[in-house]
Amino acid sequence: MKLIIGLGNPEKKYDNTRHNIGFAVLDALGDEQGIKWQHKGKFKAEVAELSDKSALLVKPTTYYNLVGESVRALADFYKVAPEDILVVHDELALPFGSIRTREKGSDAGNNGMKSIIQHVGPTVRRIRIGTSNEHSEYMDAAAFVLGNFTPEEKTKLPETIKNAHRLIDGFLSDKFELTTV
């Protein structure tokens, strides 16, 4: 069993924000596979099982900065090693639409990753999706990541999500690719 964790905030008002790109990637994957989400209170998450039962898709219902609680509860229950956990999250240090993968490392200033590292360690794998644009350097970081995508970004989002799905497929087949897309 593997865990694929999408980072985001649970309230509707955060839908379509940069900080919720992890949720958007998993929602699209769930739609593609025709799977349904279930609320699992003991895991503080919305969970969906892939049709081949190889992995759980997870959208923590804690807020972004506390996602480690949910990841730890799931990892303990399903006895999943940190190396079998993939986290999909936004990355302010990368240009919009670019993707960089990592096998382990620091939180790089991402509070969701900081929480996960505190709870399960630094060896979780990551798909970091760039959200930076020409406005990000002039705005407060929190306000920027909690902002909506621009119309131009929305047109490019499907291709970014498709690229993330390709990387998830590699993770599921034990061929996780270290790359920048």
In whole angstroms, give the CA distance from residue 34 to residue 147. Answer: 29
In three-state secondary structure terms, 16 is coil
How far is the C-alpha of 139 from the C-alpha of 131, rounded, in Å? 13
Distance CA 59, CA 11 (A): 12
According to CATH, what is the number of the domain 2-172? 3.40.50.1470
In the predicted structure, residue 181 carries a pLDDT above the cut 80: no
Residue entry with tokens 């020409």: 134
Concerning whether 89 is annotated as a catalytic residue, the answer is no
- Of 19, 39, 89, 119, which residue is the catalytic one? 19
Residue 178: phi, psi to the nearest 5? -85, 115
pLDDT tier at 24, thresholds 50, 70, 90? very high
Q: Which residues contact 34 (CB under 8 A, 6 or more apart)?
A: 51
Q: Which of 42, 33, 47 is nearest to 4 (CA)?
A: 47
Measure the CA–CA gap between 54 and 51, rounded to whole angstroms.
8
pTM for the whole structure: 0.94
Residue 108 · residue 69 · CB < 8 Å: no
Q: Domain map of the chain by residue range? A: 2-172
pLDDT tens-digit series, residues 79-134: 999 999 999 999 988 999 999 999 998 888 889 999 999 999 999 999 999 998 77
Average pLDDT over residues 55-67: 95
